[in-house]
């Protein structure tokens, strides 16, 4: 079990902190135990360097699907294709974690606690994304056809 106090949750004005606990898979726990006793959970030089590492891991994991993105050159929009791993960041990883938890059926209240949110409304954006995913999966199950509608009852009042 990982227990920590997120930097954003420390309130000097209110003189309180909020502790977050997250269960860990055994492999993740082994990695984090290497750095036990450090100020941070993992040694990070900067957010930018951390995101560089996350991009490297995504690339090694084979997240190479090309995605289209609009880039502006000299004020003109240009459509370019870039590998998806270039878009990955620690923030995206956090969103993915939350969305996958909801897709796997973890209650929204539990996801909210795991993310350290103090208000459930903050977590609702992930539920909307998960609902879109579930809806697409249902449509895919029907081969992208319209879902069947029950036949109208026949009029036998004659």
Please report, for residues 21, 129, 130, the alpha-carbon distance to residue 103 in angstroms, rounded to integers and kept in the order given.
Answer: 21, 9, 6
Q: Please choose, from the candidates 98, 63, 103, 101, the residue with its C-alpha nearest in 3D space to the C-alpha of residue 83.
A: 63
Specify the long-range contacts of residues 19-23, CB closer than 8 Å, at least 24 apart.
Answer: 20/113, 20/114, 20/115, 20/116, 22/114
6-36 residue pLDDT tens: 656 555 555 666 677 778 888 988 888 888 8
Residue showing tokens 């502790």: 19
91-125 residue pLDDT tens: 998 888 898 998 888 999 999 888 888 888 888 88
- Residue 116 region, left (φ>0) first, then alpha (ψ -120 to 50), else beta? left
The C-alpha atoms of residue 20 and residue 7 are separated, in whole angstroms, by 11
Which of 16-30, 74-88, 140-154 has the highest average model confidence (pLDDT)? 74-88
Cβ contact 123:98 at 8 Å? yes
31-73 residue pLDDT tens: 888 888 776 777 777 889 989 999 999 999 999 999 999 999 8
């Amino acid at each position: 079990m990982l227990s920590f106090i997120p930097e954003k949750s420390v309130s000097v004005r209110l003189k309180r902190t909020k502790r977050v606990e997250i269960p860990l898979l055994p492999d993740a726990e082994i990695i984090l135990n290497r750095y036990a006793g450090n100020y941070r959970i993992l040694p990070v030089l900067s957010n930018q360097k951390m995101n560089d590492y996350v991009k490297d891991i995504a690339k090694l994991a084979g997240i190479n699907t090309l995605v289209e993105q609009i880039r502006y050159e000299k004020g003109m929009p240009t459509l370019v294709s870039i590998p998806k791993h270039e878009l990955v960041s620690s923030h995206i990883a956090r969103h993915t974690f939350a969305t996958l938890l909801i897709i796997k059926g973890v209650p929204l209240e539990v996801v909210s606690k795991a993310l350290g949110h103090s208000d459930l409304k903050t977590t609702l954006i992930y539920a909307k994304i998960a609902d879109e995913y579930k809806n697409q999966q249902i449509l895919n199950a029907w081969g992208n056809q319209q879902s069947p509608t029950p036949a109208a009852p026949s009029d036998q009042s004659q």
